[in-house]
């Protein structure tokens, strides 16, 4: 059986493409925001400060 090679874009590339698609047509591309949230949830842990939904004053 032959070897198969598949090129897969990195997470930052997928995130960029999802953001770009949404910016082009936000009313039609709402699924891209959900995909982006799912992608970010997999790369930033719940205990990571970058995942916080609140901001603090300096």
Residue with tokens 């590339």: 13
User: pLDDT at position 51, please?
Assistant: 60
pLDDT of residue 2 exceeding 90 = no
18-52: pLDDT as tens digits? 999 999 999 999 899 899 988 888 777 667 676 66
Give the structural domain span for 19.
10-39
Asked if residue 26 belongs to a domain, the reply is yes
User: pLDDT at position 21, please?
Assistant: 93
Asked if residue 21 belongs to a domain, the reply is yes
Q: How far apart are the first and last CA of the chain?
A: 60
Which of 8-12, 22-26, 31-35, 54-58 has the weakest average pLDDT?
54-58
Asked if residue 28 belongs to a domain, the reply is yes
User: pLDDT at position 50, please?
Assistant: 65
Asked if residue 1 belongs to a domain, the reply is no
Length of the chain, in residues: 58
């Amino acid at each position: 059986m032959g070897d198969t090679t598949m090129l897969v874009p990195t997470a930052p590339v997928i995130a960029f493409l999802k953001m770009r698609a949404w910016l082009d047509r936000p009313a039609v591309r709402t699924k891209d925001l959900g995909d982006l949230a799912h992608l970010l949830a997999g790369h930033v842990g719940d205990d990571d400060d970058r995942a916080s939904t609140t901001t603090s004053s300096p």
